Amino acid sequence: MPTLSHRDRVTRAMEQTPRADFLPRAVRHAAARNTALQIGFGSTCSQPSTVATMLELLEVRPGDRVLDVGAGSGWTTALLARLAGPDGSVRGTERVTALAELAAARLVDAGLGTARIDPAEPGVLGAPDGAPYDRILVSAMAQTLPQALVDQLADGGRMVLPLAGRVVRVDRHGEATRVTRSPGWYRFVPLVEP
């Protein structure tokens, strides 16, 4: 059987993980729309095409250790769990405790025991206690590259995040990083840094 491309793996993960299952009841009817949806507390669930683009750039491999910063509804954490598979591990962090608790319950309902979502630790960006990570996904807009997250990447690791209006891929090799910008402009809620 041929190996699936990253794009095909992302498509399959999205088919297996309905967005509606991770949304508040009031907006589930709009789950199929290619638009960001309000999930409460000033947060949104990003539009599916943006999520797909970011996951394709991230290139999660089976067995990867993955961090999801700004887990929100838990949908991206669930998608990452599908991509990392049963031999991987996925940890989401969310600064709004109520959202983190709802998202964690949705992961349990989806049967994704290799993933978890924790409330973000005050004054800490990411989850350095679990580093290094092979892949980091950030779902909030940074204005400058967050060094605290770069430091949590494993050697050979990759991070994808919105940075000053663009989605960028950050590859770490030793102490060096390479930043690659994708085409287009994006809008996200702001990343709250300590």
Domain boundary assignment for the chain: 6-181
The residues with which 136 forms a beta bridge, in sequence order, are 67, 159
Catalytic positions: 46
For residue 189, count CB atoms less than 10 angstroms from its CB and return exposed for 0-12, middle for 13-18, buried for 19 or more.
Answer: middle
DSSP labels, 72-125: TTSHHHHHHHHHH-TTSEEEEEESSHHHHHHHHHHHHHTT-TTEEEEEPPTT-S
Please give the sequence-ordered ranges of beta strands (E in DSSP) within 2-138, or none if there are none: 37-40, 43-45, 65-69, 89-94, 115-119, 133-138
Distance from the Cα of residue 130 to its chain's centroid: 16
pLDDT of 193: 84
pLDDT of 2: 62
Distance from the Cα of residue 63 to its chain's centroid: 16
Q: Which CATH number fits domain 6-181: 3.40.50.150, 2.40.30.10, 3.40.50.10300, 3.30.70.120?
A: 3.40.50.150
Q: Which residue has the tokens 């089976």?
A: 62
pLDDT of 183: 87
Tens digit of each residue's pLDDT, the chain (194 residues):
568 899 999 999 999 999 999 999 999 999 999 999 999 999 999 999 999 999 999 999 999 999 999 999 999 999 999 999 999 999 999 999 999 999 999 999 999 987 999 999 999 999 999 999 999 999 999 999 999 999 999 999 999 999 999 999 999 999 999 999 988 889 899 998 87
pTM over 0.75: yes
